[in-house]
Amino acid sequence: MPRMDLSVIGTRLGAAALKPLVQKLLVAEGAGAGIVERPVRVSGWLSYRGEKKSLSEQDLLKLATELVRRAVEPLPASDRPAADEEAATAHALALTLHALGDLDMDDVQAVELGEERFALRLKGAVSASTFLFLSEGAVALHDAVLRVACRHILHFFTQRSTFVARTLVEQTRRQGRMQSDVSALLQRVPSVVVQDAEFEARYAEQLVRRHGELTIYGLDLGQAREWQLDAAYISLEAETRQGPAVPIPTQRILAGRDRVLLRGLAGSGKTTLLQWLAVSTVRQELPDELGGLRGRVPFVLPLRTIARQTLPRPAEFLSSVGFPLTEPEGWAERVLSAGRGLLLIDGVDEVPHHMREIARQWLHRLIAAFPKNLWLVTTRPSAVQDDWLQADTFAELSLMPMSEEDITAFIRRWHAAAVAGDESADALLTAVRTKPDLGHLAVNPLMCGLLCALHRERRGFLPEDRKELYDAALAMLLERRDLERGMHQRGDLRIGREPQIALLQRLAHWMVRNDRSEMDRDDARAVLAAHLPSMTHIDADAETVLRYLLDRSGVLRQPTADTMDFIHRTFQDYLAAKAIVEARDFPWLQDNAENSQWEDVIRMAVAHGRPDERARILRGLVPVLTDEQLHEETSPGRPQLRFHRARMSPPSDKNGRRRLPLRRVLLARSCLDHAPEVDSALQESIMSLTRGLLPPNNLTAARRLAEYGGPNVVSMLPGPEHLDEGQAEACVVTATRLVSNAAIAYLALFRTHPSMLVRRQLAWSWHRFDCSTYAEEIISHLPEDGELYFTAASVEHLSALRAMGGRARIQILGTHHPRDLASHIPAERLTHLWLREGYTSVFHGMNWLARFPHLHTLVLPKPPHPLDAHTIPGSVKIVIAERRESLLLGPGTITE
């Protein structure tokens, strides 16, 4: 381990990450602690001394180990100690902290010493032999952690309610000495370090204020209300895109990954995830798997805001998003140079299409200049190609639709926040589960929230399709019941719902036509001013009307003083589509069908259009084929079908026949789900072209088919007959992403398939569906031969497996208490147990494994620190999955 500079360690240590742990050393002040006549001995405040100890010596060692581990996590790999040196450092630190109880001084004297001299005094109380076998680097690490610990211990003393009162006379008498000590202490600490630390504390407070709440609509008759993030956030699931899909809870996507590109549909929770990561990081409320985020500084950078002009340099990060603090000169670069940054870059899809390559180059240059930081970039699925950030070694993940368990949790939390009662929540859950159309709508947090609001507002009467859902949501948001709530005064401007929609449509249309998702106020005023003369019943100028829409519509918001946007991109797309249809702007739709940013606009335009308008839009996507052409286009093995699957199709083949890109075909197919009536010839053409894409020939095509094709695609998937192994797996991947009873019926056709890849996909997809139905139709029929692990994500899944008599191989998703595993897994059956990420840090001991007498293989992720082998039964072989992406692969990818 190289020799460490103490000041450098102190800069990178991330003291906020250690504060909660240091506090465990100390006893909280109680009613009997107010001794005013004399100070209290240091030993009197220690949690591992006295008759009522809350920490044992073993606990103290664990605490010291965790302090050291958290201290080294932010360090570059070249500065990190080896595992044995880290353990030796923790052992020495535990002995040093234990010596606190032997110091012959009181709390006032300790504060007078200051953190540096107090740390030296404490270290001097430990036997010199403690440090005899430590390297210089290990001693430096010990001293750095000890100093931060002493800082918090002294701060604890000064914050107690009786400290000032008991020491007022002493403080007055020694004021000159104390000032001298403080000045000396400040001189020893570089001023820039102190300045940065003070700013980061204020920055953390502002970050929590800005991102610590979500806006939830419909809680109060259409009025938006803020929802505490920690109460609202639900960890959904993402899956890897490279190779076989591996499920990963969203709150763990940065566990073991430094750079991630996360794809998700509109409203799927991408921005909420970034908020949660930012707030949890500055609050130091992270799961153990995200230990690498402790001590880091988050930068939340929405691309639609920062890309309005030149993409910012680090020094401009905060000003580009309107952050109300002035940072110390050079602070952002110091944070990034030290590898302490967490870059959360939101919404590549919201950057104008022509600027996305510029954004990629900007990101590439940042990573090249500051490579040691963590990076999370979000986008809609089809906005950029699969290898967009491959050169910078980004892992690619996709957000999954909400599972039944996620939907249940969200609906119950929404009703709790709205104080709407369990009865209303139960009624909505019943409707979502029993009505397929509603179930198809409740696929992400945004749509689920709108359903909750409308169900409450309409007393249980809910729309049946997406267009009706947005119609109803806009009616709810725009009709605020201001009269009933006493909001209007005589003479106030009032604009009805339909005029408001007409005005909002013009703004949305301008934003779509100009490839923007944010609009300058000057442009907004100009658009409104051009339209207001035709609305003679509105007697107000453009600025007054714009202010009215911002204040009262509930659909617009003002991210900065000079800009405005819609509360969610889906409302912009919906309103723009309505304006485009009314303006008969169909050529624009056809010309922009290849721009993924406007796919929802095209779908909603089809929903808004009359039958002839609908047909014109769809014909702009795909041609109407004759019977002869239909036969030619859909014949098995036709060369042009391979072009359909390609990322971009050639405009024509050697015979001059037109080739259709995959995106246009699937976009046209998904539009049918939003069209109540379509010409039969046109509908058959689209359906036939979609069937020509089946079966999907790889996993990427399978996922795209599910993403773009919509829930009804499951009815078009071929059965297992005449499919090779890769095609069968791809079809199952598509169906498992289309959660419905129809999908379960289709998947049941594959439950005895000879391919292990197919059966593995069936086994781990259980958690996406209703537990009992899927268990009865799929899980109970899967043969146990080969290397198949049965995947359980909850206690309910374990109970279902137990009811089937148990299984020999079980894989556990998520983190469960050992007693749940021990009580729900039949002891006599289990031979192989696979625990996913989190267990090696949650279970410090694994003695509970002794309950399973036939267990001989335990699969674990690569642990963040050495395992305590003494707690694992000697008959159990430990297998480490070196790569998280290898979770569902065969044993050849796993190494001991």
Please write the tens of the pLDDT for every residue from 507-558. Answer: 999 999 888 888 999 999 999 999 999 888 888 889 989 888 886 776 787 7
Angle between helices 270-283 and 191-211 (to 10 degrees): 140
Structure confidence at residue 490 (pLDDT):
56
Which CATH number describes the domain made up of 499-584? 1.10.10
303 with 359: CB under 8 angstroms? yes
Interacting residues of 894 by C-beta distance below 8 A, sequence separation 6+: 859, 879, 880, 881, 882, 886
Residue of 438, 481, 484, 441 lying closest to 461 (CA atoms): 438
* Sequence-ordered strand ranges (E) for 794-845: 809-812, 832-835
Interacting residues of 402 by C-beta distance below 8 A, sequence separation 6+: 236, 410, 442, 443, 444, 445, 448
Structure confidence at residue 467 (pLDDT):
82
The residue ranking higher by pLDDT, 158 or 270, is 270
Please name every residue paired with 220 in a beta bridge, in sequence order, or none if there are none.
Answer: 223
Question: 346: number of CA atoms within 13 Å, CB side?
Answer: 22
865 with 844: CB under 8 angstroms? no
If you average pLDDT over residues 871-890, what whole number do you get?
Answer: 57
If you average pLDDT over residues 290-317, what whole number do you get?
Answer: 86
The residue ranking higher by pLDDT, 720 or 227, is 720
- Reported confidence tier of residue 767, pLDDT bands at 50, 70, 90: confident
Q: What is the dihedral of CA 256, 260, 265, 266, to 10 degrees?
A: 110
Q: For domain 200-399, give its CATH number from 3.40.50.620, 3.40.50.300, 3.10.580.10, 3.20.20.150.
A: 3.40.50.300
- Reported confidence tier of residue 53, pLDDT bands at 50, 70, 90: low
Q: What percent of the chain stands above pLDDT 70?
A: 73
- Reported confidence tier of residue 483, pLDDT bands at 50, 70, 90: very low
pLDDT, tens digit (0-9, with 9 covering 90-100), for 245-259:
667 788 788 877 889
Structure confidence at residue 644 (pLDDT):
37
Structure confidence at residue 884 (pLDDT):
38
Least confident piece of the model among 316-330, 499-513, 699-713, 763-777: 699-713
619 with 683: CB under 8 angstroms? no
In the chain, where the domains are located: 6-189, 200-399, 404-464, 499-584, 790-893
Q: What percent of the chain stands above pLDDT 90?
A: 20
- Beta strands 237-240; 247-249: pairing state: antiparallel
The residue ranking higher by pLDDT, 726 or 286, is 726
What residue type is assigned to position 113 of the chain? L
Whole-number Å distance between alpha carbons of 613 and 664: 18
pLDDT tops 80 at residue 207 = yes
- Reported confidence tier of residue 763, pLDDT bands at 50, 70, 90: very high
Whole-number Å distance between alpha carbons of 547 and 541: 10
pLDDT tops 50 at residue 630 = no
Angle between helices 521-531 and 497-513 (to 10 degrees): 120
Structure confidence at residue 841 (pLDDT):
42
The residue ranking higher by pLDDT, 890 or 230, is 230
If you average pLDDT over residues 131-154, what whole number do you get?
Answer: 81
Select, from the ranges 44-58, 177-191, 685-699, 754-768, the one with the highest average predicted confidence (pLDDT). 754-768
Interacting residues of 671 by C-beta distance below 8 A, sequence separation 6+: 602, 603, 606, 617, 618, 621
- Three-state SS across 386-425? CCCCHHHCCEEEEECCCCHHHHHHHHHHHHHHHCCCHHHH
Phi, psi torsion values for 395, nearest 5 degrees: -80, 140
What is each CA distance from 450 to 292, 428, 660, 692, in whole angstroms?
36, 12, 36, 36
Helix (H) and strand (E) counts for the chain? Answer: 39, 17
If you average pLDDT over residues 6-28, what whole number do you get?
Answer: 57
858 with 877: CB under 8 angstroms? yes
If you average pLDDT over residues 320-345, what whole number do you get?
Answer: 91
The residue ranking higher by pLDDT, 155 or 335, is 335
- Reported confidence tier of residue 655, pLDDT bands at 50, 70, 90: very low
Structure confidence at residue 187 (pLDDT):
55
- Reported confidence tier of residue 179, pLDDT bands at 50, 70, 90: low
pLDDT tops 50 at residue 880 = yes
Structure confidence at residue 232 (pLDDT):
63
pLDDT, tens digit (0-9, with 9 covering 90-100), for 563-588:
888 877 888 899 999 999 999 999 99
348 with 383: CB under 8 angstroms? yes
If you average pLDDT over residues 431-454, what whole number do you get?
Answer: 74
- Beta strands 297-302; 341-346: pairing state: parallel
DSSP assignment, residue 81? P
Structure confidence at residue 801 (pLDDT):
94
The per-residue pLDDT of the chain, averaged, comes to 77
Structure confidence at residue 689 (pLDDT):
84
Say if pTM beats, i.e. exceeds, 0.85: no
Say how far residue 220 (Cα) sits from the centre of its chain. 27
Structure confidence at residue 463 (pLDDT):
73
Percentages (nearest 5) of helix, strand, coil residues in the chain: 55, 10, 35
Alpha helices in 212-312 (DSSP H): 229-232, 270-283, 303-306
Length of the chain: 896
Query: What is the chain's alpha carbon radius of gyration, rounded to the nearest angstrom?
Result: 31
pLDDT tops 70 at residue 811 = yes
Interacting residues of 530 by C-beta distance below 8 A, sequence separation 6+: none
- Reported confidence tier of residue 218, pLDDT bands at 50, 70, 90: very low
Phi, psi torsion values for 490, nearest 5 degrees: -60, 135
pLDDT, tens digit (0-9, with 9 covering 90-100), for 682-703:
888 888 888 777 888 888 888 8
Question: 104: number of CA atoms within 13 Å, CB side?
Answer: 2
Interacting residues of 231 by C-beta distance below 8 A, sequence separation 6+: 413, 417
Alpha helices in 556-679 (DSSP H): 569-582, 586-591, 599-608, 611-621, 627-634, 639-645, 662-672
Say how far residue 445 (Cα) sits from the centre of its chain. 12
